[in-house]
């Protein structure tokens, strides 16, 4: 789906940058063409500054998103999910990010959860990146404790694991 969305803006890399930012941040577009997070409006000038485009590019992009019925339904229903990932160092949590060979393979999250649970580790948060929207989709698990070396070895030996990062 991500590729299909980006193709609709293939003639404008600046508009693609706006779309990418909206998707990455979970910003939606209201009926008035304003970018919002929940009910909070985000100024187009701030969005433009973040991705180094003119404010009018943001205006034109939101207009196009609303004009296309499929894109309208998508971008009016996006919402952000709060993440503990950036708070982990402050809260003394461990962030485990697993990159996989084939994110479309079923059971990856279940296998990871089973392995972690078998070590009596509490999962505070778990989220995945959609393979449609991410270049390198990953599974992120935030736990209350240090990751035992034995568990790390188990996870690395799983056939679908490409790389593991620990923060």
DSSP sequence for 116-144:
HHTTTPPEEEEEE--TTT-SS-EEEEEES
For 122-134, how does the pLDDT look when each residue is reduced to its tens digit (9 = 90+)? 999 998 887 776 7
For 14-41, how does the pLDDT look when each residue is reduced to its tens digit (9 = 90+)? 999 999 999 989 999 999 999 999 989 9
For 69-121, how does the pLDDT look when each residue is reduced to its tens digit (9 = 90+)? 999 999 999 988 888 998 999 999 999 999 988 887 888 889 999 999 999 99
- Return the closest-CA partner of residue 96 out of 127, 71, 75: 127
Complete domains list, the chain, with CATH: 2-75 (no CATH), 88-166 (3.30.70.260)
Considering the entire predicted model, what is its pTM?
Answer: 0.73
Q: Do 1 and 67 contact (CB within 8 A), yes or no? A: no
């Amino acid at each position: 789906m991500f590729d299909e969305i980006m193709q609709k803006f293939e003639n404008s890399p600046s508009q693609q940058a706006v779309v990418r930012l909206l998707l990455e941040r979970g910003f939606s577009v209201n009926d008035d063409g304003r970018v919002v997070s929940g009910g909070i409006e985000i100024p187009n000038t701030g969005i433009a500054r973040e991705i180094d485009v003119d404010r009018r590019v943001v205006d034109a992009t939101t207009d196009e998103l609303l004009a296309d019925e499929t894109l309208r339904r998508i971008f009016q229903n996006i919402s952000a999910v709060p993440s503990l990932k950036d708070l982990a160092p402050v809260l003394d949590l461990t962030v485990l990010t697993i990159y996989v060979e084939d994110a479309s393979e079923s059971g990856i999250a279940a296998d990871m959860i089973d392995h972690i649970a078998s070590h009596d580790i509490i999962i505070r948060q778990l989220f995945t990146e959609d393979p449609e929207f991410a270049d390198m989709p990953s599974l992120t698990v935030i736990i209350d404790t240090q990751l035992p070396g034995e568990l790390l070895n188990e996870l690395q030996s799983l056939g679908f694991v490409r790389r593991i990062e620990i923060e």
